[in-house]
Amino acid sequence: MALRRIKADLHVHTCLSPCSSLDMSPREVVSAALRKGLDLIGVCDHNSAENVLAVKKAGRRNGLMVLGGMEVSSSEEAHILTFFDDDDDLLDFQDFIYRHLAGSNDEHSFGLQVIADDEDGVTGFCDRLLIGATSLPAEAIAARARQAKGESLVIAAHVDRESFSIIGQLGFIPPTLVLDAVEVSAHMSAAGLKERFPDCRKYPIITGSDAHGPEDIGKRFTWFTSEDGSIAEIKKALSNSNNRKAEC
């Protein structure tokens, strides 16, 4: 297969995230991504993957590649992006996260957590406290994601942010936390990140929108030069192997 350039936003929420716009239905997420010229999105709601399969299905119907994952909140209150090629791996990982996530959602304080199908029909509401933090240290989240049978990808989210990032919470990236990349938020460039946080020079850098509303999807993106949007190819792009590359 030939190499191609893939425009990717790997940090997109849906209406399942309590802090997201209710407009972030599976179909609208896919349409907005296509309107922005994206080839690939990563779906990562807070501590849950209940809308991933619907977005994947809507994506397949419309020619958009979709990586399924979750943005997990660690016990240090750092956000870690995890992605899986295989849906069973993702659902196993979700079970694991649910076992370490206490509390139930208060819709009036935090918002609705809508579960939808690929045609935007509402199929239920998640009653777990998705906005909460798990009892798992970042290291344990990354280690469990790596136990998947298929390929998995672990990225420290918005590391330049003061809140909910591993550097913001700890002041550094623990060497025992095994990452495939770090993500820089929309507030900083990759060059700025390396200058401000020299620790990050050791890692491949991506950026994503962290979109919670349709208008934000694709505001920030990463170009992958690879054969396709599979995790194996993205990992090669992140490590610049076999002429693959990642640019942001």
Q: Which residues make up the interface to Zn ion (CB under 5 A)?
A: 71, 79, 157, 210
Q: Comparing C-alpha atoms, which of 196, 182, 225, 174 is closest to residue 6?
A: 225
Provide the minimum distance between the beta carbon of 224 and Zn ion in the complex, in angstroms, as a whole number: 20
Number of residues that make up the chain: 248
- Which CB, 71 or 180, lies closer to Zn ion? 71
Q: CB nearer to Zn ion: give 64 or 157.
A: 157
**CA separation for the pair 205, 200 (Å, rounded):** 8
Task: Print burial letters for 140-158: b (CB count within 10 Å at least 16), e (below 16).
Answer: bbbebbeebeebbbbbbbb
Give the nearest residue (CB) to Zn ion. Answer: 79
Give bridge partners of residue 205 from the DSSP assignment.
182
Within 10 angstroms of residue 120's Cβ, the number of other Cβ atoms is 14
Type of residue found at 222: T
Least distance (Å) between residue 232 CB and Zn ion: 24
Q: What is the smallest separation between the CB atom of 216 and Zn ion, expressed in angstroms?
A: 11
Nearer to Zn ion, 137 or 150 (CB): 137
Task: For Zn ion, give the closer residue by CB, 76 or 210.
Answer: 210
- Measured in degrees and rounded to the nearest 5, phi and psi for residue 81 equal -85, 130
**Cβ-based nearer residue to Zn ion, 150 or 168:** 168
Nearest-approach distance from CB 16 to Zn ion, in angstroms? 12
Nearer to Zn ion, 200 or 236 (CB): 200
What is the C-alpha separation between 202 and 182, in angstroms, rounded?
10
Q: Look at residues 171, 90, 164 and name the one whose alpha carbon lies nearest to residue 134.
A: 164
Structure tokens given for 62: 């419309």
Q: Which is nearer to Zn ion, 169 or 226 (CB)?
A: 169
Q: In angstroms, give the least distance from the CB of 131 to Zn ion.
A: 11
The distance of closest approach from Cβ of residue 164 to Zn ion in the complex, given in angstroms and rounded to an integer, is: 5
Half-sphere exposure of 132 (CA within 13 A, CB side): 15
The b/e string for 182-207 (b: 16+ C-beta within 10 A; e otherwise) is bbbbeebebeebbeebebbeebbbbb
Shortest Cβ 46–Zn ion spacing (Å): 7
How far is 34 from 13, CA to CA, in rounded Å?
16
